[in-house]
Amino acid sequence: MVAERSGLLIHAGYPKTGSSWIQRFLFQNSDAGFAPLFGEDVSMRGAVMKVMILPNALVFDPIDSLKHFHPAILEVTGKGLVPVLSHERLAGTPHSGGYDSKELANRLAAVFPGAKVLLVIREQKSMIVSTYKQYVRNGGPCSLGGYLRPPRSDGRMPLFDFGYFEYHRLVGYYQELFGQANVLVLPYEQFRDDPKGFVWTIVTFAGAKARPGTVEGLSYSTREYPGLSGFSIAIKRRLNRIVGRRDSVNPQVLIPISRGRELVLERFLKRLEAVVPGSFHKALDQRLTAAVFRAIGDRYTRSNSLLAELLGLELGRYGYDVG
């Protein structure tokens, strides 16, 4: 198969780990030695969703999928660049407990068996706070408690599951599928503390030929899609039951609006943030974070210890609970 000799890099997630920055400033930068499949649509959301994620497992066909990506891979490699398939949804989605993360890994291995895989993880307490904020920002109406502990008695619909953040399971499975040497796992906290070292690790792993000075000159201070404060989250969650986008996150909203109008609402919330005392913002954020900490406890100690051993990483230095 063409993927066995293409040098393809698959960036499969996780969500909330700087994916937008990585896609925009690294994978879309030919001077860094990369190029996204299908040009400047760096996340390739349409193609990846349509071909790799959405098809029913009973109709998914690896050969047909490869035919879709083959021309783009050849075009990029013909320019001496590393082709990148990047979409954080490939690691599953936390809102449904990553129910299809193994199926998606199998699909990637079936279509691109010789690819290299990049996974970026994040300390679970910080990750779940950010995940919940994103859920509300996307229209989710549930309280934190309702989100973290959804009803699951009938098993009809996948919902949030703490097990999604036991990274050692998915990491180990990708290593089984692609080989340990072909799977790179980096902590998001390394990107925060040492962004240049983080990027150089990806460049070296992928075999990209970055031009001198390119990595050092990337826009590390740029923050993609800054999150809403605890104040805005508290207001928006209550508004979400009344007005917002009607989608899988919030199918029962009373007054559906377009994405454009939702952005107008977010800008209004940002203006409100500016007139609210900083101490109030801090108190609400601390309250949310403390609630997440209580819900998690030492739930991830064993998983993080296994992951640290699996990868040879000192995760404790980045704040991960390793016991």
CB atoms within 10 A of CB 88: 22
- Kindly list the distances between the CA atom of residue 28 and the CA atoms of 42, 47, 161, in Å, as whole numbers in the listed order: 6, 16, 33
3-state SS class at 86: strand
Give pLDDT tens digits for 232-269. 899 999 999 999 989 888 898 999 988 888 889 888 88
Q: Is 284 exposed, middle or buried (0-12, 13-18, 19+ CB in 10 A)?
A: middle
Non-local CB neighbours of 279 within 8 Å, separated by 6+ positions:
none
Residue 42, pLDDT > 70, answer no
pLDDT at residue 276 in the model: 86
How distant, in Å, are the alpha carbons of 45, 275, 309 from that of 193?
29, 31, 22
Specify the pLDDT at position 218.
95
Cα(188)–Cα(174) distance, rounded to whole angstroms?
19
Q: Where are the domains of the chain?
A: 2-222+301-318, 230-296
What pLDDT is stored for residue 222 in this prediction? 83
Residue 200 has pLDDT above 90, yes or no: yes
C-alpha distances (whole Å) from 41 to each of 23, 73, 89, 164, 263 are 9, 14, 16, 28, 21
Residue 45: count of CB within 10 angstroms of its CB: 13
User: Which of the 8 DSSP states describes residue 159?
Assistant: -
Average the pLDDT over each of 137-146, 160-169, 223-232, 248-257 and give the range with the smallest value.
223-232
Phi then psi for residue 60, to 5 deg, are -60, 135
Q: Which helix (H) or strand (E) holds 255?
A: strand 255-256
What's the pLDDT score for residue 8?
97
- pLDDT at residue 3 greater than cutoff 80: no
Q: Alpha-carbon distance 231 to 136, whole Å?
A: 12
Please give the average per-residue pLDDT across 155-166, as a whole number: 92
Average pLDDT over residues 303-313: 96
Domain over 2-222+301-318 is classified CATH 3.40.605.10: no
- Between CA 238 and CA 268 the distance in angstroms is 15
